[in-house]
Amino acid sequence: MKSALPKVLHRIAGLPLICHVANAVRGAGEGDVALVVGRGAEEVRAAVEKVAPNVSSHEQKERLGTAHAVLAAREAIARGYDDLLVVFGDTPLIEEAALIEARSQLAEGFDIVVMGFRPADPSGYGRLIEKEGQLVAIREEKDANAEEKRINFCNGGLMALRGDHALALLDAVRNDNAKGEFYLTDIIEIAHKQGRKVTAIEVPVDNVIGINTRVELAEAEAIWQDRKRRAVMLSGVTMIAPETVFFSHDTLVEADAVIEPNVFFGPGVHVASGAVIHSFCHLEGAHVGPNAEIGPFARLRPGADLAEKSKVGNFCEIKNATVAKGAKVNHLTYIGDAFVGAGANIGAGTITCNYDGYNKWRTEIGEGTFIGSNTSLVAPVSVGANAYIASGSVITENVPDSALAFGRARQVTKEGRATVLRERYAAIKAAKKAEK
């Protein structure tokens, strides 16, 4: 990855790679998660604990092969589980359905289940050698004969083992090979020598894609986004140009919402039924209520909470603020650390001045209130219900219910003064030019 960040902490859809894997494992059934860590152990453990709070962590201090890595979690394996799933932290696209299928094969009586795939070009992959309905060996390409190289059923690396004999099989692996490493794949032949039943299941190719470069990271992101777009549309959401919409791992969009082109969802967004997200919007940590309307070119930052039939229009930004039912923030406006009451209308260019350089302060706007264009509301300040703020005002004091407030300088007009100013400024410009 050429990165200071541990590989498995790079993100797809805003979530670390390894957390995608942990979620799939947890979705495959109730059970414990054992995490084998190496580089960046503390960071990796902290990330996984956010999605799997009861994870146990086990450090692999030496890199002596895949079986050695699994045995780093010996303490967890020895507890005697029914099933043991072995998955990789850098295969974020594994789906829980594949893991559930592997477990079902164990329930059918197999002792080991290997997850295989059929790539368009099998070159470079270990081949799954089957005989009479069982998997008899995994042959690395460099060791395969001509007939075996024609096999296109390849080893995905992920496995499921019956828990009652997993530790014995792992302990039987030896490192008498060129690299002096303990290979997990060796347990297939060991199991056969012990008279155990081994099978392979086919999973989609994308399920076993490993991430080793930024290019592969981007390719995996594209696959994840395509999956999510399809799932969202099948759930009843209209997407006009789905390929231009990007979701976070936890985005929730309810049926009958409409998403126009070029919309980006960061983490923590919930869009309710009937809402419309117009083009070129960016949402993060926001709730969009039923039949609300957002954008185009709007930004909802964390804490934005838009109620039913509210509206946030073009070139508006909402942060840590509630926009109540039917309220409108139509254009060119910033609403931060605020409450906008039901049915209120916020004019173009309005700003809640919420930060004094040290602290954030809150603005309260009552229901039915009209805020004129180009108004600055200097927090902390409260504007009552059904009040009216004149355009161009700077409001620094609380405004009562149903009051009219002005907060602007009185206009003064100087006849002919514009000509004098132009002549003066032209002379200054000419003088500066002459000096050069």
Q: Helix (H, G, I), strand (E, B), or coil: what is residue 327?
A: coil
250 assigned binding-site residue: no
Tokens at 134, concatenated: 């069982």
319 assigned binding-site residue: yes
183 assigned binding-site residue: no
391 assigned binding-site residue: yes
Verify whether residue 278 is a known catalytic residue. no
345 assigned binding-site residue: yes
Return all residues near 259 (Cβ < 8 A) that are at least 6 apart: 237, 238, 239, 240, 245, 253, 271, 277
352 assigned binding-site residue: no
Which residue is listed with tokens 């042959």?
139
Task: Give 391's Cβ-side CA count (13 Å radius).
Answer: 4
179 assigned binding-site residue: no
Q: Are 176 and 225 in contact (CB under 8 A)?
A: no
Return all residues near 428 (Cβ < 8 A) that are at least 6 apart: none
3 assigned binding-site residue: no
Long-range CB pairs of 220-226, under 8 A, 24+ apart, other chains included:
220/12, 220/92, 220/93, 221/12, 221/13, 223/93, 224/12, 224/13, 224/20, 224/92, 224/93, 225/13
Catalytic annotation, pick one of 10, 20, 249, 331: 331
Q: Helix (H, G, I), strand (E, B), or coil: what is residue 397?
A: coil
Task: Give 292's Cβ-side CA count (13 Å radius).
Answer: 34
90 assigned binding-site residue: yes
Q: Are 44 and 6 in contact (CB under 8 A)?
A: yes
65 assigned binding-site residue: yes
305 assigned binding-site residue: no
310 assigned binding-site residue: no
194 assigned binding-site residue: no
Q: Helix (H, G, I), strand (E, B), or coil: what is residue 9?
A: helix
The annotated binding site for acetyl-CoA is made up of 348, 354-355, 373, 391, 408
The annotated binding site is made up of 7, 60, 65-66, 90, 126, 140, 155, 212, 301, 319, 334, 345, 348, 354-355, 373, 391, 408
The annotated binding site for Mg(2+) is made up of 90, 212
The annotated binding site for UDP-N-acetyl-alpha-D-glucosamine is made up of 7, 60, 65-66, 126, 140, 155, 212, 301, 319, 334, 345
Active site residues: 331
